[in-house]
Structure 1
Amino acid sequence: MHLSERIISMPSSPMRKLAPFADAAKQQGKKIYHLNIGQPDIATPENFMLAVKNFNEKVLAYSSSQGMPQLIDAIIKYYKKYDMHFEKDEVLITNGGSEALLFTLQAIGDYNDEIIIPEPFYPNYNGFANMAGIKVIPITTKAEFGFHLPEREVIEQKITNKTRAILLSNPGNPTGVVYTKEEIMLLADIAKKHDLFIIADEVYREFVYSDSGYTSFGNIKDIEDRVIMIDSVSKRFSACGARIGAILSKNKELIAQILKFCQSRLCCPTLEQIGATELFNVSDKYFEEVINEYRKRRDVVYKGLQEIPGIICQEPKGAFYVIAKLPIEDAEDFVKWLLTDFHLDNETIMLTPAKGFYATPNSGLDEVRIAYILNEDDLKQAMHILKVALDTYPKKK
């Protein structure tokens, strides 16, 4: 039977690719510290659960294709705290940030058009672009420089008559980079000069650990008609399973066109929207406590990595990830080995090989992404296991 070129060329998830090796290790009785996937262990705010439990309608009906009005209102109120002022016809509720990204790419590009993305990047960007028939043009950033952007000339030389947008996450997944105000303004100027959209994936907005501040594309007035904000409740509220995201843009024509995609899938889940509405009403204290917790976890991991000879990484400033360059040749082989051949007192760790976060062939081969989503004690033990494993690994550089 014939299968489409679209599905054949669709990349597998690098975060889940090695799951069978982890399953086999667990069957052998090994304890695995999972640092491979961004699933927070922070408790989801109770008001989400209570809102769902208190739902007492007799019929679980369709909601609006645009999204439930009360959820849209809650999101608009949330953004006002950051001096971003959206109207009701500038917001669409989506099935997670994933659908928001897919709908956006389908709306702004035709087959064989191009988008520019700093790499390493969230690998599903590649998958969504593939589904939309759009080609990813990477801008390579380096661990040695904290994955900050290269010079303007390097970025502009990637732009062609098929370029439609610049896409980036800020704070960054998988790097933990927080782009400076100067970097944000540089991209804004490039987008304006070359008539491009900026797709701003800011789902980790709250998770910033430096004192140098955070600049959102949503606060740059003179490009507001070309900024498309991607949002999600998954990481901000530790509600990954709720699958509620959003697209926000001051470009009303764009939102009106993307609404047609929303209509084609009818609506997002009603109960999850009811719960998500209450998430946007949590207190600022919730965020303070969560950010302090992740900052402590970041410090544990970064300190542990700094104590291992041969590792190269800069301190991550946001999100809850870091990419580390290891003193090995092949990170994927190392991660498999950790699961199949290595243990320390019957414990091991699972990391994500970083090559799946690059579009440039043969990049990131000696790098791994670490998600610091475990408690401090577990992270300290995981860093100890990593140090011992690298000392033991037979294929070091």
Structure 2
Amino acid sequence: MLEISQRGQQMPMSPYRKLTPYADAAKQRGTGVYHLNIGQPDIETPPAMLAAVREAEIKVLEYSPSAGSGSYRQKLAAYYQRNHIPVQPEDILVTAGGSEAIFFAFMSCLNPEDEVVIPEPFYGAYISFAIATDVRIVPVVSTLDEGFALPPIEAFERVITPRTKAIMVCNPSNPTGYVYSEAELLQLLDLCRRHNLFFLSDEAYREYCYEGFATSALQLPGAEQHVVMVDTISKRYSACGARLGALVTKNPDVQAAALKFAQMRVSAPALAQLMGEAAAELPESYFEHTKAEYRARRDLMVRRLRAMPGVTCPTPGGAFYVMARLPVDDAGTFGRWLLEEFSYQGHTVMVSPAAGFYVTPGLGRDEVRLAYVLNLEKLDAALDCLEQGLAAYPGRLVQPIGDATPALEARP
């Protein structure tokens, strides 16, 4: 009997798509599904980006250079410079989405069996990239009760071994929405410099910071040899389907290695790069509108969640996700139950069970990640569904009077 690879067997299901078959079945039964499970914004893609493709006079759709077209790299560098990130076109390698940038970063900076230290919970796909590249993720736990703030730097020191090759953060964070301060990033960079480590910085949500601004790791003094930034236009411009990202570093050895991996796949999407050029020239007012919209959605979601009995959540400072602790026996079981057995006014809601954002066994069991990517009216209706679902769920937890230990409520 033929057997698939060990990588294929170990590769986990996406934590935000894992329940998709149950959502599809619910829709087939006629139940509407509010998707809070995935960061797919409903804000319109800027018309100028779509017009750039529609109006392009192309007779032959050719390969672009493996590092990306010269014109796009120049305009992307100018975008970074406007954001006070000291980047030149030669520091940029254009990728097929942020996912390819992460893959290239792992392949260029880490050997098989090397270790990358990441504060958890973290973007669930990092687990898949680690399996694909034979890299081991070493977690440093941050907690919901502390708002998912960066753990003490001593916690990172304790897990560094001779196999440690990199530290990685997502800033602002997917899935927590936490925004790492410049002081926190400087602590991490100092640790990387002292231990000769790469500092991998995923900055997909840089523009969406609701109290102040997110510091790029590339802005830190002494970042040149250590920092490898991965980026994407997906969330910034509501263009997830364009599949256009970038690996950005001033380390020439990393750039040279990443280029060889880029040559392996020949080139990034040419039409997407036209969209990227148009996006890089959008005025700052574009972000003023979208940030205001996401802030309003965040505020609505946090207010509604905190009003639900037994639900706990911090206020995220950026991105468009909330991590919430629910009064349930198991968030994965609850998420499936919502799709299989529950509806409210003809609808139900799809969530991302948070266990898929941890590698430490047992963590996230009663947590979910919720994406506030629906407009305010739909988001409010989705939270109505969640509130009613929590009240009706047979496996909800209750707090007995005089007992500090939650108990499982008996099934009706």
TM-score (norm 1): 0.98
Deviation, 1:180, is: 2.1
Q: Tell whether 2:204 aligns with 1:214.
A: no
SS in 2 for 1:222: coil
Deviation, 1:89, is: 2.0
Measure the CA separation in 2 of the matches of 1:230 and 1:265.
18
Per-residue CA distance 1:202-243 (angstroms, 9 max, x = gap): 1100100114x4322111121221101111010000000000
Q: Tell whether 2:5 aligns with 1:36.
A: no
Correspondence list, 1:223-242, <5 A:
223-242=223-242
Deviation, 1:386, is: 1.4
Correspondence list, 1:23-172, <5 A:
23-172=24-173
| Residue number in structure 1 paired with 2:201 | 200
SS in 2 for 1:167: strand
Tell me if the contact between 1:112 and 1:134 (Cα under 8 Å) persists in the aligned partners: yes
Measure the CA separation in 2 of the matches of 1:89 and 1:276.
17
Per-residue CA distance 1:159-186 (angstroms, 9 max, x = gap): 1111111111000001111112221111
User: What code does the residue aligned with 1:168 have?
Assistant: V
Correspondence list, 1:375-386, <5 A:
375-386=375-386
User: What code does the residue aligned with 2:62 have?
Assistant: A
| Residue number in structure 1 paired with 2:309 | 309
User: What code does the residue aligned with 2:346 have?
Assistant: N
User: What code does the residue aligned with 1:316 have?
Assistant: P
Deviation, 1:389, is: 1.4
- Stretch deviating more after TM superposition (387-396 or 237-246): 387-396
SS in 1 for 2:201: strand
User: What code does the residue aligned with 1:393 have?
Assistant: Y
Deviation, 1:158, is: 1.0
Measure the CA separation in 2 of the matches of 1:65 and 1:284.
30
Measure the CA separation in 2 of the matches of 1:377 and 1:58.
44
Deviation, 1:378, is: 1.1
Tell me if the contact between 1:199 and 1:228 (Cα under 8 Å) persists in the aligned partners: yes
| Residue number in structure 1 paired with 2:406 | none
Measure the CA separation in 1 of the matches of 2:326 and 2:144.
11
Tell me if the contact between 1:89 and 1:252 (Cα under 8 Å) persists in the aligned partners: no
Per-residue CA distance 1:358-379 (angstroms, 9 max, x = gap): 0111110000000000000111
| Residue number in structure 2 paired with 1:266 | 266
| Residue number in structure 1 paired with 2:254 | 254
Measure the CA separation in 2 of the matches of 1:2 and 1:191.
40
User: What code does the residue aligned with 2:285 have?
Assistant: K
User: What code does the residue aligned with 2:335 have?
Assistant: V
SS in 2 for 1:221: coil
User: What code does the residue aligned with 1:330 have?
Assistant: D
Deviation, 1:87, is: 2.2
SS in 2 for 1:235: coil
Unaligned 5+ runs, structure 1: none
SS in 2 for 1:329: coil
Tell me if the contact between 2:33 and 2:348 (Cα under 8 Å) persists in the aligned partners: yes
Measure the CA separation in 1 of the matches of 2:41 and 2:271.
22
SS in 1 for 2:18: coil
Q: Tell whether 2:368 aligns with 1:368.
A: yes
Tell me if the contact between 1:116 and 1:166 (Cα under 8 Å) persists in the aligned partners: yes
Q: Which runs of 4+ in 1 moved over 6 A?
A: none
Measure the CA separation in 2 of the matches of 1:233 and 1:214.
16
Measure the CA separation in 2 of the matches of 1:8 and 1:338.
28
Measure the CA separation in 1 of the matches of 2:224 and 2:85.
10
TM-score (norm 2): 0.94
Unaligned 5+ runs, structure 2: 398-412
Measure the CA separation in 2 of the matches of 1:186 and 1:136.
20
Correspondence list, 1:352-363, <5 A:
352-363=352-363
| Residue number in structure 2 paired with 1:173 | 174
Deviation, 1:269, is: 1.5
| Residue number in structure 1 paired with 2:188 | 187
Measure the CA separation in 1 of the matches of 2:219 and 2:381.
41
| Residue number in structure 2 paired with 1:13 | 14
SS in 2 for 1:349: strand
Measure the CA separation in 2 of the matches of 1:215 and 1:240.
23
Measure the CA separation in 1 of the matches of 2:50 and 2:216.
30
Tell me if the contact between 2:330 and 2:365 (Cα under 8 Å) persists in the aligned partners: yes
Per-residue CA distance 1:240-292 (angstroms, 9 max, x = gap): 00000001111112101210111111101211111211111111111100000
